[in-house]
Amino acid sequence: MRRFMKLSRKTLGLLIIVMMLLLSGGPGWARTLTVSQPNQQIYQEANFASTPLGAVPQGAKVNLIRQEGEWYKVDYQGTIGWLHRQAVPEAAPAKMDLSKMLFGGPVKETGSDEVALAGKGFTPEVEAGFRQKNPGLAYAQVDKVETFGVDQAQLQKFVSEGGLNP
């Protein structure tokens, strides 16, 4: 019985450590990202269609709270919202290194989990390979079309003059 009590205390201690680790959110998430692209916004939800909460200037540092697919939940100067990965395309996937604390060994990536695949697939590098194989395609024209746009003030004037809904 005494031995049972002793082991139970050990078990309880381990349980407390595990629970603390789980509740802490993990040490690996205390991470800062630097926005490297211009004209980026923080959104209320992980969706471009949701309400923009404000602009994040190029070079700004944001605190990463968590990641869901291509979106990062971030804290930027007290504004908490979602930033798309396009703002920080070079950021490595977030990883947590709990193994050293539990087992003392190095982390081994599986190499096939979805986090490791973020930013893979049809990427700018694949586009470059495709363009090399198909030099006759009009990518310069596509780049030109992507510069076409209308600023908000012009659009509002157009909408207003046409009796359209704002």
User: Which residue type does 157 have?
Assistant: K
- Confirm if 33 and 88 have CB atoms less than 8 A apart: yes
Query: Applying CB under 8 A, does 149 fall inside the site for another protein?
Result: yes
- Confirm if 57 and 35 have CB atoms less than 8 A apart: yes
Q: Which of 24, 30, 61, 150 binds another protein (CB under 8 A)?
A: 150
Q: Which of 2, 78, 153, 163 binds another protein (CB under 8 A)?
A: 163
Query: Applying CB under 8 A, does 59 fall inside the site for another protein?
Result: no
Q: Which is closer to another protein, CB of 59 or CB of 121?
A: 121
Rg of the chain (C-alpha set): 24
**Residues in contact with 78: Cβ distance below 8 Å, sequence separation at least 6, in sequence order:** none
User: Which residue type does 32 have?
Assistant: T
Site for another protein in 85-114 (CB under 8 A): 85-86, 94-96, 98-99, 102-103, 105-114
Query: Applying CB under 8 A, does 22 fall inside the site for another protein?
Result: yes
